Structure 1
Amino acid sequence: CGISREVTIWCSNDYLGMGQNPKVLNAMHTAIDKCGAGAGGTRNISGTTKYIVDLESSLADLHQKEAALVFPSGYTANEGALSAITRLLPDCHVFSDALNHASMIHGIRDGKSTKHIYQHNDLAHLEDLLKAAPVQVPKLIVFESVYSMEGDIAPIAEICDLADRYNAMTYLDEVHAVGVYGPRGGGVAEERGLMDRIDIIEGTFGKAYGLMGGFITANASIIDAVRSYSGNFIFTTALPPVLCAGALASVEYLKTSSIERDIVKANAKLLKQKLDSIGLSYLPGESHIVPLVIGDSTCCKAITDWLLHEYNIYVQPINYPTVPKGTERMRLTATAVHTEAHINELVSSLQKLWAENHGLLNLRVA
């Protein structure tokens, strides 16, 4: 209708603002001028370029693994890697956290392995399942570091202890952690000094790195196996040079710059403090993700509509099937481009909404 207004986004996955970083944009401009827009084929048919090879080398270095493999998205990386690995391990038993991402669930299902679902972050339940499995079968524990809808972080060290005790491999999804955590952006496993205890680390460029694409890192044998047997890798167009160039610039920049990580953590802490000060509950967690559970889809949609139309604040309502019915929520993500003024504006707007609509909203908040 010809009217424009400035809107503050509070649900972006571009946690560090790298999608706007000049070094990333310059690398992409150079690559697109030199190579054009597309990859020209699958990885096995003209799609493997120096850009993607260099990116895989950088990722292997980031996670201190022998090799890495780039996929078109984080979803296809999880689905393709898990289906291939579990198919190649005869009679493999997979132990999967109950809140794992859909891409992990689909990959495990496609692998047709025996699967066991353990209650979210429940070490005792996981151990019971591991203990009950046949001793001689291959075992794979599949979990995330930062859970995107809960904002909590897995007990990685303790899971690795169980993996050692029961001779299981470990597969860690770090999509919401790479870039944000660790001294070089290697994720929570790097931050806690645990990367060497994880067999396969999966990540994405679509969140903190500010672009799109996904990857796995592991030893050379695992990477070769996935490269050779994953349909998600073999039968799809490769990530084009322009995206590989941007991803490489972002990964390399964040190996040495901690400024963005520090701002995200400070903003997340301040946001939680401000919410506490007005009595608004959120799911407890150590991460930069702050979920406010509303518990009703209609109410959740109404709140986010009010925020947008009345206060120029955009938060996407999270409803079923992303989360179970009855746990609908607003997922707030503190980023490096938010300011204290943005945080004050958000919290003030939420406070006004709750005050003005007390009868409708106060029982809906966790």
Structure 2
Amino acid sequence: MAFPLRPVLFAIDAETAHKMTIAALGAWAMTGPAFARSAAPSPRLATRVAGIDFANPLGLAAGVDKDGRAIDGLFALGFGSVEIGTLTPLAQPGNPTPRLFRLREDGAIVNRMGFNNGGLADALPRVIAARRRGVLGINVGANKDATDRIADYVHGVRTAAPHADYLTINVSSPNTPGLRDLQHGAALAALLAACVEVRGTTPLFLKVAPDLDHAAIDEVARAAIDAGIDAIIIGNTTIGRPATLRSRNAAEAGGLSGAPLAALARERLADFRTATGSALPLIAAGGIGDASEAYARIRAGASLVQLYSALAYEGPGMPARLLRDLDALLARDGFAHVADAVGAS
């Protein structure tokens, strides 16, 4: 069910509506008289991944709150984890506007934002001040004009580690030229080794694209295991365009997210489950819009799930609905804990 304010927000260009939503969530968390989840979380949904206790397996993917302006407001929606960013060492404006497009007929979004953010130093005071009623992840990347991108990631990991429950190395955005090259070969091995060296005790996740072929998936899985990465997020947006897309905005350049990404994201989750041999926790993202899809990803091997585009279409009540329905599905199938369902299919 769509939320009541959707017609109002959808009458505004997508990026302006997004900024307004984040500002409203940030203000609500600061001034709301009843800042709390509407219902106590089900013990069935609690889980432990990478040494971290999550109240539930539903996370908000990076990209929604790039600069950590609405952390508490987003947690209040019911998410077990919120991942902010992508944050780069220096502030950067990102790509020219317009750069965010709704594909209404398809329940999808195309973006070519380009890591627009105010930089790590600007965001961290908000992170420190947040009440953080859940697990907070910080997603780090490299500046577009960096001469040494690995050094940018190392700086991000070292700087953010003391303030995050986990860190994500994002090498999967299609909107920074050449960034996805870091998903391969010696460059990936060097990146992971350098970041692991400076992360201290903070768990380190790797976010990869859904557009990898089988050889690259095997390479990423081996590199992540060898480096001691704690989990893999599969994945980011896709540069592909399913033939079923109907919106005129489908032709816009950038990464596609939302419902049309679901089939590809499911395939890649299965591929990484095979490639890792269950040696690493997997986090599923891409096209998750309801409890049945979240449950299917969990049964296929995901320890956690993340969403982004569905929140834009379904509104702030969506996380609570998904969690309620997921709890019912687990109970129906006799699972006492969500972890028991991971890989059950």
User: Which interval holds the TM-score relative to the shorter structure?
Assistant: 0.3 to 0.5
**Higher share of residues assigned helix:** 1
TM-score by length of 1: 0.32
Higher relative contact order (CA 8 A, sep 6+): 1
Larger Cα-atom Rg? 1
